Amino acid sequence: MKDKAFFCKIVFILLLTNFLFAGSGILSIPDSSSIREQSMEAWISAPISAIIDRESENVQTEFGQVFQVRAEREGSEVAVIFAPRENSYNFLEKAPGSWVVYRDYSSGKILRINVYFQFDSRVYVCLRPDNQPKKPKSEVDLIIHGAYACRGVPLGLPFSEVLKLSFSELFNLTKETVPWNYVKSDYRNYVNNRDMVKKIYRKLSRFEYIEDAAYDEFENPVFISTGDARSETPGKIGINCSGFTKWIVDGITVALTGAATKLEALKEPTMELESTFYNSQAERNEMFRSYDWIRNLSTAAVCAERDKEFPAGTLGVDVQVNPFAGLKSPDGTVRNVGFVPKTGYEINMLKPLLYVLAATEPDMLYLGAVKSRRGNTDNGPETWTFHHDLVFFPYFDQAGVCYIEVFESGVATTFDDFVAANQGTYIYLCRVKSTDRFKPL
Q: pLDDT tens per residue, the chain (441 residues)? A: 444 443 343 333 333 334 334 344 567 899 999 999 999 999 999 999 999 999 999 999 998 999 999 999 999 999 999 999 988 789 999 999 999 999 999 999 999 999 999 999 999 999 999 877 778 899 999 999 999 999 999 998 999 899 999 999 999 999 999 999 999 999 999 999 999 999 999 999 999 999 999 999 999 999 999 999 999 999 999 999 999 999 999 999 999 999 999 999 999 998 876 555 555 566 677 789 999 999 999 999 999 988 888 777 667 799 999 999 999 887 778 888 899 999 999 999 999 999 999 999 999 999 999 999 876 555 556 789 999 999 999 999 999 999 999 999 999 999 999 999 999 999 999 999 999 999 998
> With contact defined as beta carbons under 8 Å apart, do 406 and 416 qualify?
no
Predicted pLDDT of residue 380: 59
> With contact defined as beta carbons under 8 Å apart, do 96 and 64 qualify?
no
Q: Amino acid identity of 301?
A: A
Helix 191-203 and helix 241-257, axial crossing angle in degrees, nearest 10? 120
In the three-class reduction of DSSP (H, G, I as helix; E, B as strand; rest coil), residue 88 is classed as coil
* Closest of 122, 118, 174, 173 to residue 148, by C-alpha: 122
Which letter does DSSP use for residue 110 in this model?
E
CA–CA distance, 294 with 279 (Å, rounded to integer): 24
> With contact defined as beta carbons under 8 Å apart, do 240 and 207 qualify?
no
Paired strand residues for 394 = 404
Q: Amino acid identity of 208?
A: E
Cα 97 to chain centroid distance, Å, stands at 22
CA–CA distance, 370 with 422 (Å, rounded to integer): 8
- Residues shown for the chain: 441
- The residues, ordered by sequence, that sit 6+ positions from 264 with a Cβ below 8 Å of its Cβ are 227
pTM, full prediction = 0.90
Predicted pLDDT of residue 16: 37
* Closest of 90, 89, 47, 55 to residue 72, by C-alpha: 55
CA–CA distance, 395 with 178 (Å, rounded to integer): 22
- The residues, ordered by sequence, that sit 6+ positions from 331 with a Cβ below 8 Å of its Cβ are none
The number of helices, as runs of H, and strands, as runs of E, in the chain is: 11, 20
Q: Amino acid identity of 121?
A: S
Predicted pLDDT of residue 19: 37
Predicted pLDDT of residue 319: 97
Residue 347, class by beta-carbon neighbours within 10 Å (0-12 exposed, 13-18 middle, 19+ buried)?
A: buried
Predicted pLDDT of residue 332: 78
- The residues, ordered by sequence, that sit 6+ positions from 179 with a Cβ below 8 Å of its Cβ are 142, 149, 150, 323
Other residues' Cβ atoms within 10 Å of the Cβ of residue 277 = 10
Which letter does DSSP use for residue 262 in this model?
P
Paired strand residues for 221 = 215
> With contact defined as beta carbons under 8 Å apart, do 268 and 292 qualify?
yes
